[in-house]
A and B are shown apart, each in its own frame.
Chain A
Amino acid sequence: MIEVLGVKKRYRKKQVIEDVSFTAQKGEITCLLGLNGTGKSTILKGIMGLTPFDQGTVLVDGKSIDLNRVAFVPDHSTFPIHFTIEQCEAFMRDFYPTFDPKLFARLVDEFKLFPEDKLSELSKGTLAKVNLALGIAQDPDYLLLDEPFSGIDVFSKEQIVELFSSDIMEDRGVLITTHEIEDIEYLVDKAVMLNRGRIVREFDVEDVRFIHGKSIVDVMREEYGA
């Protein structure tokens, strides 16, 4: 379980994260929801130590984070754009001990990627698939995904959503931020709603669906008044 406990973050004069605490279970998909600028990406980066929190603690299965067990997939490529997909893979193989080339090859095949393609030549959707394949092939227990559907076409979205319900994602904990909640609503187990850097609601999606007859979007409408 990922435990985020009382984290805070300030950029210049703006408090972007204000005492946020929540958990994300292994084997479940937890979705961080919120309007633009509510601190969703900052929380993911903070968990990974890329943007250190000013206060608070992050624990993974009761210990401080082990980057062999948690992978982060940002909404952009983290490799130089002149790299080919196979060069990215070679880098990951060299520096990420848990990287599984067979799993990567399977994902490349499923996503219909061409290893010799340069990142600079790829569409946003294909780049998102490459990012996801590189992240999943680290074979992590927990996967943190920042806006994996941002600006990508409907078919790429479908391929990624299919992957979430496949055996590849089985037993992995997923913490995801997305604006395209409709696409994955039926897969999400838990939602954490943020507003102005604070958690305004945290709920079990199935409970809300079956007990109150509401979708995540309905709850978002109530909360954000949109």
Chain B
Amino acid sequence: MNLLKLLGWEVERLTKPYLILITLLVVTQFAWLGIFLWSETNMYEEIRRAGTPDYTLTFGNYLGGTPFILSIGVAVASMVFFSFWIWYRDFQGRGTFMMRLLLMPQQRMFVFSAKLATMILMILGLFSVQWIALKLQYIAFSSWFDSQMIPMSGSFKQAIGYDGALAIMFPASLFNFFVHQALIALAVLFIFSFVLIERSLWQRTVWAPLLALLMIGGFIVVPMIGFFTIENDLFMEEALAVFTLILVIWFIGVVWIGHRQLTKKLSV
């Protein structure tokens, strides 16, 4: 019950900046779509007047435009920023709100879990909005060119498949969707671990951020080096099993770090 209350509390606190981000994302993409349709139609007209209408468009052309890629980049960067900010805002100023959170008579891991769940909800929300926006953009894109009788090639699926970031948003199967979400959650957990280690060390050393970065970096890189060293000697199934094991170790590791820092090390 307290976890749900805390989750509601965290979500409420992030709602305003999150809605601003979503609005910016959608407005940027639809504005870019408008500009793209207008310029491509003009170009087609010019080519047609020249008498060589050998011209086909794909939705991928639109997705490859700088404004669209930038909008996705800003959304990803914002999620990374939110993952840091969801903790650091509670450490701001002398009257740190983190003190109030740590004084609550409940498990401190509730604070951790509520923040993690908030981030995952926000990321899933962003995916949903992007998914709907992209579908609407495709409908607008194809209807416009159909109405202008401009030839198009390639399907929505093909266009999405060419883009790495969008392929994560539109996974080929439910299994892939869960794998992608697990990897995203792991990335968020690595950021959480960094913040909690840094905040536990800041009163002891001015090198706290660097030390925290080295510790988390080491935790990520060492198993990867081990994996790449033995990868060539393994069958594909074995390599997959080893990589899954590394993922499990990372998950257990970051949750353990979060628990230890919050209950034994964190200093406010």
Contacts and interface: CB of A to CB of B under 8 A. Distances in A.
Interface of A: 10-12, 45, 48-52, 66-68, 71-72, 74, 76-81, 91, 94-98
A128 to B, nearest CB: 12
Contact of A94 (B5, B94, B103): B5
A51 B105 contact: no
B2 A95 contact: yes
A94 B6 CA distance: 9
A78 B105 contact: no
Interface residues of B, number: 24
A74 B9 CA distance: 23
A203 B150 CA distance: 93
Contact of A96 (B96, B104, B266): B104
Contact of A95 (B96, B104, B203): B104
Given A12-B204, A50-B267, A95 B99 contact: no
Contacts of A74: 95, 99
Interface string B99-122: 110111110000000000000000
28 contacts: A10-B204, A11-B203, A12-B204, A45-B268, A50-B99, A50-B102, A50-B103, A50-B267, A50-B268, A52-B265, A52-B266, A66-B105, A67-B103, A67-B104, A67-B105, A68-B105, A71-B103, A74-B95, A76-B95, A78-B96, A78-B99, A79-B95, A81-B93, A81-B95, A91-B100, A94-B5, A95-B106, A96-B104
B95 to A, nearest CB: 4
B103 A12 contact: no
A98 B105 CA distance: 9
Interface string B237-262: 00000000000000000000000000
A72 B94 CA distance: 16
Of A10, A50, A72, A98, most B-chain CB atoms within 10 Å: A50
A72 B103 contact: yes
Contact of B204 (A11, A68, A77, A78): A11
A210 B177 CA distance: 77
A10 B201 CA distance: 12
B94 A76 contact: yes
A97 B99 contact: no
Contacts of B94: 76
A51 B99 CA distance: 10
Interface in B114-165: none
A126 B186 CA distance: 44
A51 B104 contact: no
A79 B103 contact: no
Nearest to B268: A50
B49 interface: no
